[in-house]
A and B are shown apart, each in its own frame.
Chain A
Amino acid sequence: MKTSRRQFIKTSSLYAGGLAMAGSGLKAASGLLKNLGGNVEGLSRTPTYCEICFWQCAGWVYKDDDGRIQKIIGNDDDPHCNGRLCPRGTGGVGMYHDEDRLKTPLIRRTVDGKQVFEEATWEEALDFIAEKMKSVAAEFGPECVVLFSHGSGGAHLGHMLKAFGSQSISAPSFAQCRGPREVAFLTTYGDIVYSPERTDIRDSRCLVFIGYHLGENMHNGQVQEMSDAIDKGATIITVDPRYSVAASKSKYWLPIKPATDLALLLSWIHVLIENGWYDKEYVEKYTFGFEQLREHVKQYTPEWAYGITTIDPNVIRRTAKEMYDASPAVIVHPGRHTTWYGDDTQRLRAVAILNAILGSWGRRGGFYFPERVQFPEYPTPAYPVPNRLPTEAYAGKYNLANEVVSNGICDATIPSVDSDCNFKVWLVNGTNLMLALPDQKKTLQAIQALELVVVIDTMPVEITGYADVVLPECTFLERYDMVRVSRHREPTLALRMPATEPKYHSKPGDWIARELGIRLGLAAYFPWKDMEEHLDWQLKQVGSSLEEMKRIGVKKFPRQYDDLYLHEGEDFFFNTNTGKIELYSTDMEEEGFPPLPVYTEHEQPPEGFYRLNYGRAPMHTFGRTANNPNLTDLMDENTLWVNPKVANLWGLENDQYIKLRNQDGIVSTFSIKVRITERIRWDSVYMVHGFGHDNKKLSRAHGRGINDTELITNVKIDPVMGGTGMRSNFVTFVFENDNAGEEVEA
């Protein structure tokens, strides 16, 4: 076996002893935490906002008299959740109680030729990291230190890193997820969709979902509003090769052939324009390039689209009419996870254009103008100007990307003659890069080239196995974080405060960043006494205080700028080159991309293979909840959805476990349970992402189901913004007895 510098450590760590496992000596002011706020149910409560997903719903943590966390309930004043958390938020208690949590800092050591994790004190671990960061920065510059982050810890660590002199900060939530939609809307409207999305679903009369499985993806506020829209009789149109839950709530389900969505979108635009079913006044007043668009889409007739999408031309016309009849209270939803085929920005541009000609942007029931509080930073010295920016990692490419491209950073970490932009240190916080980034081989190559890998997380997720140092972060229930400054219909702030002291030897993100910062000689950047003082200062600048926020959890502020919607005939300047909504994109043209979306054909599965589609389950967030005791109780493995025709062909049976092999010969590590269902097309299979964990320390998640990421090796890069298109992978079935058969023959 080839030995690598950084072997994956999966066995139990070498216990150094001398460290008490439970009850760290650090008592947070637990007495202080009791009896704050209302005592509604004989339980004390403290405010928080959820960290189980990016929606960050505000809620109350209830504890019994023994100080044990009982439940988490949504805050009624919070526009993200309206007092109703989703199953993950309600099950957030499991994140705290999970006995598999990272408990103490670990340092990779070689003992008797074997790489193991040794328990360390925080002093040792932080000193080790700081020394290494300093020596690497002295040789290569501070910019060679990268932070990958998803979640609240990123604000603290990002501040520390910027103070250190590096802006190399990236999150997979851009190039593996939202990126194409943000760039498409930015080039069209000069503004992005944001999170939570600015979609006015509750007042919409027609909702169009393109492969967007709202209800299975539990984006709380939007799911709630979809339900309101159903109550009010809104028409729902769902385009999906799978009969999703959203499809089952729809008046029209368009069971499209996978990878052909753009043909349908262009055809819809064609139908709307040819029939005059568009908002003429709005298009005249606010848009740029309508005539070019009209010319361009002449070719995209419903009959043309039929041959590609398999959607009946009459259904294309009828659904287009439904959209027009509802306009401007119509939302062609931009979706969220949009990195599919590599021409995703162009597909989302078509979505943006559809909305524009229907006049839904800035209209009730369409897209509103969200607003947030101007919330000041605690004063610290200016950050040093870095010698180079992370975008140099992919210089000359992805110029329209408005955030850092994570896979660009990953690629540039691999030593190459083409690039001198070598990154040497990865700090990884709250994102399991092994499951988040496709093409695992590349991620591993990058990791092997690094001088230092530090993982800061609550759980022993796979990426911890490649770390040199593992730092146990405490959960959101045990810490302060930055105030949640929410952009919504009404601006709000939300407070997260500790409901209890950190379990084991875990520490809050702000403490980790600060302690590391002090060791790096950056104490001047951390002038506050503690987080309470930090937050109180910020809150007082906007007329609130920590004391008030502890009582109310969420504070609403009046809107200060424009209204939610455009006024009749209002002059409006869009932040684009032309000051208008660019149906014809001058940005795209300047960058050498088609200024109007063009249909391109994508690969279809070869004989005997099926397109691997993946999605979400409402009770899980990616892989990060796969070990949560409350949530695994609801769903503890993913299943492989197979159409009965396909099952028949292969002799598959329900509940049978099989492995999968992809087009590149990669075989899944684990097996997956077959679910034979009419809800999936015969040319594709489906599974929920985030399962198939191979770290044995995740006792409930290990070996349960298949990890789709390991089968995603055919990655289609979006040339516009660097997104990783992940839906051009094809799998076939591998039966356990295949190997047994070979052995018998041998």
Chain B
Amino acid sequence: MRYAMAVDTKKCVGCSDCVVACQTENNVPIGYCRDWIVEVTDGTYPQLEIEIRSERCNHCENAPCVRCCPTGASHYSDGGTVLVKKYHCIGCGACIASCPYDARFPHPEGYVDKCTFCLDNRVKKGMDPACVSVCPTKCLYFGDLDDPRSPVSQILKKRKYKTLIPEAGTKPHLYFLI
């Protein structure tokens, strides 16, 4: 089982609903976020393009944050999800420095926090992650890459996609449909 997410940049309007839904679902303190919006504008007026991406932890198969964690707090969990055991985390920040996607932040309570794909609180109960289930444009697809019928497998079969910073060799599980 390999959990993954695909983000349709052709449909995303950058409304940030994924950000708020994650905050209220996971009690992320105000001022912090586990997912965020990136908007890239290309060209000159009037020949323009915008790519809008809802970004978060890439839940890499080859995760530098897991490798560099001195206490084992950062670890692989079910479906390859990368998680942090907050009581094992000493807040040293090595993982923050090692993440090419800048997906981690120091939680005010002293541990490092990041996207969990809502594994324990939602996915294990058969629900989609909060961001996926709230998205008004339905531009987020989630599921098991090993299950050909999962929404994420289906959409990746149909559409062109890319990953971010592939040269880092992290084998990310966050795909962007282009």
Contact = CB atoms under 8 A, between A and B. Distances in A.
B84 to A, nearest CB: 22
A230 B24 contact: no
Interface stretch (A86-94, A392-400, A436-444): A86-94
A93 B24 contact: yes
A90 B133 CA distance: 12
Given A243-B48, A630-B30, A679-B45, A218 B136 contact: yes
A248 interface: yes
Nearest to B37: A634
A223 B48 CA distance: 22
B43 interface: yes
A84 B11 CA distance: 15
Contacts of A678: 41, 43-45, 48
B11 A224 contact: no
Contacts of A74: 134
Contacts of B145: none
Given A630-B20, A630-B30, A231 B11 contact: yes
Interface in B116-135: 121, 125, 133-135
Contacts, number: 118
A111 B135 CA distance: 52
B45 A681 contact: yes
A90 B21 contact: yes
B136 A220 contact: yes
Interface residues of A, number: 47
Interface size class of B (residues with CB under 8 A): 35 or more
Contact of A90 (B17, B50, B125): B17
B89 to A, nearest CB: 24
Nearest to A310: B46
A408 interface: no
A643 B10 contact: no
A85 interface: yes
A679 B41 contact: yes
A207 to B, nearest CB: 14
Interface string A44-80: 0000000000000000000000000011111000000
User: Which of B11, B24, B27, B139 has its CB near the most chain A CB atoms (within 10 A)?
Assistant: B24
Interface in B86-136: 121, 125, 133-136
Contacts of B41: 243, 677-679
B52 A245 contact: yes
Given A87-B15, A216-B13, A678-B45, A227 B50 contact: no
B166 interface: no
A255 B45 contact: yes
B25 interface: yes
A218 B30 CA distance: 22
A629 B52 contact: no
Contact of B30 (A71, A243, A629): A629
B170 interface: no
A682 B138 CA distance: 35
24 contacts: A71-B25, A81-B136, A84-B134, A85-B134, A85-B136, A87-B15, A90-B17, A90-B21, A91-B20, A223-B13, A223-B136, A223-B137, A227-B138, A245-B52, A618-B17, A630-B24, A630-B30, A633-B31, A633-B33, A635-B16, A678-B45, A678-B48, A679-B50, A680-B45
Interface of B: 10-11, 13-17, 19-21, 23-25, 27, 30-31, 33, 41, 43-46, 48-50, 52, 121, 125, 133-139
Interface of A: 41, 70-74, 81, 83-87, 90-91, 93, 215-216, 218, 220, 223-224, 226-228, 230-231, 243, 245, 248-249, 253, 255, 618-619, 629-631, 633-635, 643, 677-682
